[in-house]
Amino acid sequence: MAAGGKIFEKDKIKKRNNLALKKRARSITAFVLAVLVFLSLGRVGWIMGVHGDEYRSKAERNQLYDTELKAVRGTIYDRNMTPLVTSSSAWIFCADPYEIKKYFASENETERLWKEYVEYLSKNIAQILSLKKKDVKKSLIDSEKSYVRLAKKVDANRRLALDKFLEEKHVYGYYDSGEEKTVIAKPFFSYENDTLRLYPENNFASTIIGVTDSDGKGISGVEIYYNDQLSGRNGRQVTAKNSIGQALDSSYESVFDAQQGNGVVLTIDSNIQYYLENALNHALDSTKAKGVYGIVMEVDTGRVLAMSNKPDFDLNDPRKLVSKSARKDLKELEGTENYASKLTEELFKQWNSYCVTNNYEPGSTFKIFTLAAALEEGAVNKNTTYTCCGYYRVANDTVIHCANTAGHGFQTLTQGLMNSCNPFFINIGQTLGIQTYYKYFEAFGFTERTGIDLTGESYPVYHPAEKRGLVELASTSYGQSFRVSPIQMITAACAIANGGKLMKPYVVDGIVDTQGNIVSKNEPTVRRQVVSQSTAAQVREMMEAVVEGGTGKNAYIEGYRVAGKTATSEKLDTTDDPNDYIASFLCFAPANDPEVAVLVGVDEPPGVYRGGGVLAAPIAKEVLESTLKYLNVEPQYTKDELASISSKTPDLCSQEVYSAKVAAANEGFSVKIVGNGNTVVSQVPAAGQSIPEGGVIVIYTEDNSKTQVVKVPSFIGMTAGEANRTAIASGLNIVFSGPSQSAGAKVVKQSVETGTELEAGSSITVVFQATANMDD
């Protein structure tokens, strides 16, 4: 028993030792594994920290490749569906810098050759795409990247040039055998779909249309206001790439098509916009003013038919600053931290519509609203009179002078408006009182924005209720000491023209899809009735008198009844020069049944002081006359106009000379005979042509008679009598336009240039302008 027990004890000890050894082994194994895991994690962390970008770039080349397909931006049309802005296919030009370097590494070439090749690529690509070489090189030299965008909006012509270059063999060295070492760049580059905005008319309606950024999103004008409609919806193309970055076959591809944006139809009529821009360009050139602006509006609806300010910018090069003063200011800031913010500020100032975003003191055009308020309240009537002595004393201590410092003397209400008499209208404002006057000031919309569908509309600046005293009332009554925008002024004037309704102005008529189907439509919106139809009609009648014989006579158009008001307003709070001013003219026609309104302003004209009646009224007349004729508004001539307008020439051909002379004389024409024949074989002007009464008809009595040619004289600076005598002496017919019978009126423009050779009997139109008694 004792021996067996010892053996048993030994076995037990042996087993315990074995168990201990196993536990120790497991512990050591676990420790070793823990150390290995720790070291592995540390290695992974080190790799990701030091070489993370490299491995991430390699992984990217073995993943799905997701490309955004740009939606074609919608077309912008004028109201006649004439495209003003379109979009076309373009491309984003991309490069794979990693593959470029990899190519040279695989060929066991030196880094020097790789850098030389990048230099070669950068130079040529920059030249084709009009980019800076250093920017292209910076992208291509970054060999850690397998994808960079070098340029957006690449058009078809530049893509052709790129493709030609990329397909050329470039020699970068020679093998020992003497064979050339060449590389073709095309595999390193690719294209993605993009769109390009096209502006075929350059500056045309640029501040209305607006600008898009590099991603094709609107940032001003209609482009930003209707961006959601125009943008459409981008699509996507998902493809798989293999280990070397090449796309796999189409079975791995998914395409989600882009959706083109809707079209925007403007209220702008291209023809009327052309009339306005043409007149403003001529005015800017002739007056040398800081700027000019204008609006044409449909009075019953608030539709803006045309709107522009000059100088403006080219939509195809919107980031080129037009303003000389802005360029000068920026030059002084070059290299400073303020340069970028100043450039952005000046660009947006350039892109914005002056008529919507800028305020000015309206001056005497505002008197029509003072007049309307007083008539509506019964504070004045047509029989109201006032004697102007050249100034008005307000609250016994403030003296405000009239433009006519000698005084206009005794005037009726209509004459007060015709003369643009400040004291008369101060007196009307004082009669109304502060509370009543500002009730109409607010009703006409001068304390709020109009709500036009363009961004950046300015708020009016006016006297707050607690600061409205008799002096503030006096200056407001004739249009000074507050500021409103041009769009506010013409919108309020349309309320006078249309019978008292204040409309909401708008520049977009509706939205259409790609097939031309109407998606949505903007309708005219009446904001409120401001004055009665009777009051509006009375104001229109008095405004018509302003054009017939007052300060607005340079807007007179034969056959059309024009109602208007002139203004010459000081820029009291917006300039350092107290002599700076804005000359403006506000009108609508026909006065008895208005269809369109026109507002024109000339900002800071230099030189001799000239008011709105001299500077702005002729511009507005040109735009209004062209617009009325284009809209087929029937002219209605007065008896006096009918007596002086052109008559149609009779048919004198085949008549004997004596009979022809008698027939012409019976119609009020004289005859000039060319040739020795007895019968008329031809005549100039031809039968049925319009020439003035008393004009000359040249008759030819022989088939081989030599055509009589005369040189056109200069009529500039002549009175009506002088111009008529000169025309007769030259063998020409002359047609008068403008206030030819007004005191001091002289010719300022003629339809045919001096020295031009014309056939005798031809007609020339001369335009008259009045300058006497035009202070407003």
* Residues whose CB falls within 8 Å of the CB of residue 646, separated by 6 or more in sequence, listed in order: 690, 691, 692, 693, 695, 735, 763
Provide the pairing of β-strand 581-589 with 670-674: unpaired
- pLDDT of 10: 52
Q: Residue 708 corresponds to which amino acid?
A: Q
> 3-state DSSP call for residue 241?
strand
DSSP string, 406-446: T--EEEEHHHHHHTT-HHHHHHHHHHH-HHHHHHHHHHTTT
pLDDT tens digits, 145-162:
889 999 999 999 999 999
- Among 21-30, 374-383, 558-567, 720-729, the minimum mean pLDDT is found in 21-30
- Among 98-107, 344-353, 365-374, 672-681, the minimum mean pLDDT is found in 98-107
- Comparing CA positions, the residue from 239, 244, 253, 197 lying closest to residue 221 is 197
At residue 243, does pLDDT exceed 70?
A: no
pLDDT tens digits, 404-418:
899 999 999 999 999
Tell me which of 352 and 241 has the higher pLDDT. Answer: 352
pLDDT tens digits, 132-148:
999 999 999 988 888 99
- Mean predicted lDDT score pLDDT of the chain: 88
At residue 12, does pLDDT exceed 80?
A: no
176 pLDDT tier (thresholds 50, 70, 90): confident
Distance CA 599, CA 295 (A): 5
- Residue that has been written with the tokens 């208005």 in this structure: 594
- Comparing CA positions, the residue from 666, 327, 301 lying closest to residue 491 is 301
Query: 500: left (phi > 0), else alpha (psi -120 to 50), else beta?
Result: left
What's the whole-model pTM score? 0.82
At residue 110, does pLDDT exceed 90?
A: no
| Helices 111-129 + 133-140 axis angle, to 10 | 140
Q: Residue 546 corresponds to which amino acid?
A: V
**Mean pLDDT (whole number) for 595-620:** 94
- pLDDT of 8: 46
- pLDDT of 42: 56
- pLDDT of 138: 94
Provide the pairing of β-strand 508-512 with 518-521: antiparallel
- pLDDT of 755: 93
Task: Give the torsion sign (CA, 421, 426, 432, 438).
Answer: positive
Provide the pairing of β-strand 696-700 with 670-674: parallel
- pLDDT of 7: 46
DSSP string, 741-759: TSTT-EEEEESS-TT-EEE
pLDDT tens digits, 483-525:
999 999 999 999 999 999 999 999 999 999 999 999 999 999 9
Distance CA 742, CA 726 (A): 19
- pLDDT of 46: 52
Chain centroid to Cα 395, Å, comes to 45
- Residue that has been written with the tokens 């602006």 in this structure: 293
At residue 107, does pLDDT exceed 70?
A: no
- pLDDT of 609: 82
Classify residue 436 as exposed, middle or buried by CB count within 10 Å of its CB (0-12, 13-18, 19+). middle
Backbone phi, psi, residue 546, to 5°:
-60, -40
Alpha carbon of 194 to those of 53, 93, 160: distances in Å?
Answer: 29, 10, 16
- Residue that has been written with the tokens 């970008």 in this structure: 53
At residue 564, does pLDDT exceed 60?
A: yes
At residue 2, does pLDDT exceed 50?
A: no
List the Cα angle 290/294/295 in 5-degree steps. 160
Tokens of 271: 């023809």
At residue 54, does pLDDT exceed 60?
A: no
Tell me which of 486 and 579 has the higher pLDDT. Answer: 486
At residue 637, does pLDDT exceed 90?
A: no
